[in-house]
Amino acid sequence: MESGFGSDFGSDFGSGGSGGGKLDPGLIMEQVKVQIAVANAQELLQRMTDKCFRKCIGKPGGSLDNSEQKCIAMCMDRYMDSWNTVSRAYNSRLQRERANM
């Protein structure tokens, strides 16, 4: 992850892009936001996979039986619903705190 960020960051901000070699702060900020969003999505997927695998898969094998498939699907749905609820609450709190500054 760290090396991926560094290589993307360096390739996007070469000296030929915006004329005269000047860096565009708005562009930099947008690219950082995209990188953060990608990292958050990767973390969500990794945590969801780990938790649901541990919860639903008793004996790993070549395929999942019906109960394991159902458990995985329901676990992932619940995890995503929980993540979305927490994210909305967090964003709402941030907006309130910014408004009170």
Q: What is the dihedral of CA 31, 32, 36, 41, to 10 degrees?
A: 10
pLDDT of residue 19: 52
- The burial class, CB within 10 Å (0-12 / 13-18 / 19+), for 36 is exposed
**What's the pLDDT at 101?**
86
Residues across the chain: 101
Q: Please check the confidence at residue 11 and state whether its pLDDT lies above 90.
A: no
Residues 6+ apart with CB under 8 A from 12: 31
| Contact yes or no for 75/52 (Cβ under 8 A) | yes
Lowest-pLDDT range of 11-15, 20-24, 68-72 = 11-15
Backbone angles phi, psi at 13, to 5 degrees: -115, 35
pLDDT grade for 20, boundaries at 50, 70 and 90: low
Which pTM does this prediction carry? Answer: 0.63
Mean pLDDT of 44-73: 94
pLDDT band at 23 (very low <50, low <70, confident <90, very high): confident
